[in-house]
Amino acid sequence: MTALVLAVGNTDKWWFGEWVGREVNQDKIIAATREHVLLTVAAVVIGLVIAIPASILVVRFPLLKGAVLGVAGALYTIPSLALYGFLVPYLGLSYRTALVPLVLYTLLILVRNTVTGLEQVPAEVRDAADGMGMSRRQRRWRVEMPLALPSIMAGVRIATVSTIGMLTIAALVGLGGLGRLILSGLNLPMRTAVTVGVGLSVGLAVLADVGLALLGRWLTPWTRRPRRRRGESEATDPVAGIAMLPDGAVTA
């Protein structure tokens, strides 16, 4: 990122409107935000592409569960700075260097939630699907995956929010979207750039969480608690108090 330039006398201000109002700085802020969003979406989508087939394999062959979750958990424990330092000599300062750790960190959450959701599909539902003549693949995608969707979406929400936060570390390898804005502000120093970077990171996390929560509700209308009629107490509601996610899933 091009160095941020401002009079030295104003660098101690955590908010300096004139800096934010400059067109050149606005372009940098927009570019950093766009890069942050694109890298986050790419990391979560790639994580899902890996996690869903792996989860289906685990459910089909339960003996693999310990190994798959163990590997995903081990990858999650690797410090991000150490992982970036290991990758730079091989991948250079590229988008791949920024994406690989982020994808690896999403796997534990996504695999665990997908596996848990699929495991908690009632046996009688599977039997009913078999009785209707569905093949194993049809049953998986038309019955089991939709019923596991609330658990999967909860994992996607957590993976997305955590990725937005961890992505700032990628600034140390020349990428990272808003992380580069924060790093530039610390190096100059330019406190307003730090404020803008942190504020936008938090804002993106909140927007992503709320947006994915609404998307999850729209995709799973059967999980919504029905409206009670006037005068009907919550105690008479047959679904009141029932958890929407299966045991073992990571909740958002």
Q: Of 8, 4, 10, which Cα lies nearest the Cα of 27? A: 4
Q: Is 245 helix (H, G, I), strand (E, B) or coil?
A: coil
Separation CA 181–CA 189 (nearest Å): 11
Could you give the dihedral angle defined by the CA atoms of residues 19, 23, 27 and 32, in that order, rounded to the nearest 10 degrees? Answer: 10
Backbone angles phi, psi at 97, to 5 degrees: -65, -40
Instruction: Give domain limits for the chain.
Output: 10-121+151-221
CB of 249 closer than 8 Å to CB of 158: no
Separation CA 28–CA 12 (nearest Å): 20
CB of 85 closer than 8 Å to CB of 170: no
pTM of the full structure: 0.81
**Omega before 189 within 30 of 0, i.e. cis:** yes
User: For residue 240, what pLDDT is reported?
Assistant: 41
User: For residue 251, what pLDDT is reported?
Assistant: 63
Local structure of residue 241 (DSSP, 8 states): T
User: For residue 243, what pLDDT is reported?
Assistant: 39
Highest CATH level, class, for 10-121+151-221:
mainly alpha
Q: Which residues contact 139 (CB under 8 A, 6 or more apart)?
A: 126, 129, 130
User: For residue 47, what pLDDT is reported?
Assistant: 95
User: For residue 53, what pLDDT is reported?
Assistant: 94
**CB neighbour class for 37 (10 Å; exposed up to 12, middle 13-18, buried from 19):** middle
User: For residue 190, what pLDDT is reported?
Assistant: 76
Separation CA 114–CA 92 (nearest Å): 33
User: For residue 237, what pLDDT is reported?
Assistant: 47
**pLDDT tens, the chain, 252 aa long:** 444 443 344 566 677 666 677 777 788 888 888 989 999 999 999 999 999 999 999 999 989 989 999 999 998 888 888 888 888 888 777 778 888 889 999 999 999 999 999 998 888 888 888 888 888 888 888 888 888 999 999 999 999 999 998 888 877 777 778 888 888 777 777 778 888 888 999 999 999 999 999 998 888 887 776 666 665 554 444 444 333 455 556 665
3-state DSSP: the chain helix, strand, coil percent, rounded to 5? 75, 0, 25
User: For residue 206, what pLDDT is reported?
Assistant: 94
User: For residue 208, what pLDDT is reported?
Assistant: 94
User: For residue 213, what pLDDT is reported?
Assistant: 92
Separation CA 99–CA 175 (nearest Å): 10
Q: Of 44, 19, 242, 35, which Cα lies nearest the Cα of 160? A: 44
